[in-house]
């Protein structure tokens, strides 16, 4: 991360670096997902919990919670419900995160586009 940070900031100091690690990044990232092996009931407050658990930890870093659209990695082209996407995104904003939505693949030709209007 030290070398990546040095290279990116040398190219343009305004480019934000974001990873799931806190070392040498501008944005600390977390995610809300629906891994199929998780116990039920589904925890609907994962977005707010992910943001609030690290908010105000660093003065110089932003927090971003990614709403993973895929049901699980094996079902990466099948999105979660539009209601779940909406809940995750609203919770993220309300808790202090920016909007962060992820699909696994590319938007062009993505087979399950039902959630795109929610974003």
Judge whether 81 lies within some domain. yes
User: Given this model, what pLDDT does residue 27 score?
Assistant: 95
User: Given this model, what pLDDT does residue 107 score?
Assistant: 80
Range of the domain at 114: 28-118
User: Given this model, what pLDDT does residue 23 score?
Assistant: 95
Judge whether 10 lies within some domain. no
Judge whether 109 lies within some domain. yes
User: Given this model, what pLDDT does residue 77 score?
Assistant: 80
Cβ atoms of residues 24 and 5 within 8 Å: yes
Which residues of the chain, if any, have pLDDT below 50? none
User: Given this model, what pLDDT does residue 87 score?
Assistant: 94
Distance of CA 51 to the CA centre of its chain: 10
Gap between the Cα atoms of 75 and 27, Å rounded = 28
Judge whether 16 lies within some domain. no
- pTM of the shown model: 0.82
Number of domains in the chain: 1
Judge whether 7 lies within some domain. no
Judge whether 90 lies within some domain. yes
User: Given this model, what pLDDT does residue 115 score?
Assistant: 79
Does residue 5 sit in helix, strand or coil?
A: helix
Judge whether 46 lies within some domain. yes
Judge whether 23 lies within some domain. no
């Amino acid at each position: 991360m030290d070398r990546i940070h040095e290279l990116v900031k040398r190219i343009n100091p305004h480019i934000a670096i974001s990873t799931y690690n806190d070392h040498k990044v501008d944005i600390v990232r977390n995610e809300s997902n629906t891994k199929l092996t998780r116990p039920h009931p589904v925890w609907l407050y994962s977005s707010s919990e992910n943001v609030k658990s690290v908010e105000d930890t660093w003065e110089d870093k932003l927090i971003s919670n990614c709403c993973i659209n895929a049901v699980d990695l094996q079902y990466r082209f099948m999105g979660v419900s539009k209601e779940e996407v909406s809940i995750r995104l609203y919770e993220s904003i309300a808790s202090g995160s920016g909007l962060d939505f992820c699909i696994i693949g590319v938007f062009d030709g993505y087979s399950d586009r039902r959630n795109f209007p929610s974003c």
